[in-house]
Amino acid sequence: MQSITTKDGTEIYYKDWGSGQPIVFHHGWPLCSDDWDTQMLYFLDQGYRVIAHDRRGHGRSSQTATGNDMDTYAADFAAVAAHLDLRDAIHVGHSTGGGEAAHYVARHGAGRVAKLALIGAVPPQMLKTAANPGGLPRDVFDGIRKGLAANRAGFYWDFPVPFYGYNRPGTPLSEAVRANWWRQAMMGGAKAQYDCIAAFSETDFTEDLKRIEVPTLVMHGDDDQIVPIADSALLSAKLLRNATLKVYKGYPHGMCTTHADVINPDLLAFFRS
């Protein structure tokens, strides 16, 4: 198993396949790098080097009780990037991973990053505050915490339904996709995943987005029930200096899985542009 050990003793698992320009994939909550399997195989076949890691507390990385915050997540990946000597890298982040990717690029990516893609991503900020009146109220995230703490397995069995839009008319539920989501989620540590709810909902990425200079593709489904588009992608595209916004009509939060046949070629076109 490929991994590095951070300064606080946390093991961060990663995959590193192929050669060529590196593409780094940052996964969503509460999943792991396996969520990118379809993209990694596709871009490997296109001649890229593909890399994905399991965030601390998720997947095969250490089930941490501390450090489950965006500053540490970004620093963890900076350690992976230094270990692999990644340069001219393209970063792709989905959901929580979009926040992690933006935080990394803004704070650690100087001289190492070529482009950024944010897919269904949580920036600028999910939580409703005085400065972010369009955000989701705190009780939404308290409900997620309550569900995780009371019955993590049951809560995670239900969560993929809105995640992939399986509750929409005419959208058949894929038991295989649901089971794979559940498998990934249950691999991680409950404490780290619980803490990560605050990390993805309360972190304000506004200054990160303003600092990012590399070309950035912002991709979002307009039927995203997990990260509503109005207070995420539409605002992020305005804050970024060099952004292209692409909105997908009717697509759900998990569109990298449900519509990989569209998302992958669109990413490829952006990478090659």
Burial of 19 per CB tally in 10 Å (0-12, 13-18, 19+)? exposed
Domains and CATH numbers, the chain: 3-272 (3.40.50.1820)
The CA-to-CA distance between both ends of the chain, in Å, stands at 35
Please tell me which residue in 33, 62, 95, 201 is annotated as part of the active site. 95
Please tell me which residue in 224, 231, 232, 236 is annotated as part of the active site. 224
Any catalytic annotation for residue 253?
yes
To the question of pTM greater than 0.95 for the whole model, the response is yes
Any catalytic annotation for residue 204?
no
Task: Give the pair of three-digit tokens for residue 156.
Answer: 């995670």
Any catalytic annotation for residue 88?
no
The model's pLDDT over 5-26, given as tens digits with 9 standing for 90+, comes to 999 999 999 999 999 999 999 9
Find, among 154, 188, 140, the residue nearest to 32 by Cα.
188
Extended strands (E) in 99-172: 113-119
Cα–Cα dist 125/232, whole Å: 7
pLDDT of 1 higher than 90: no
Q: How far is CA 117 from CA 73, 140, 224, 245, 269, in A?
A: 18, 27, 17, 10, 12
SS3 34: helix
What are the backbone angles phi and psi of residue 24, rounded to the nearest 5°?
Answer: -110, 130
**Model confidence at 79, in pLDDT bands (50, 70, 90)?**
very high
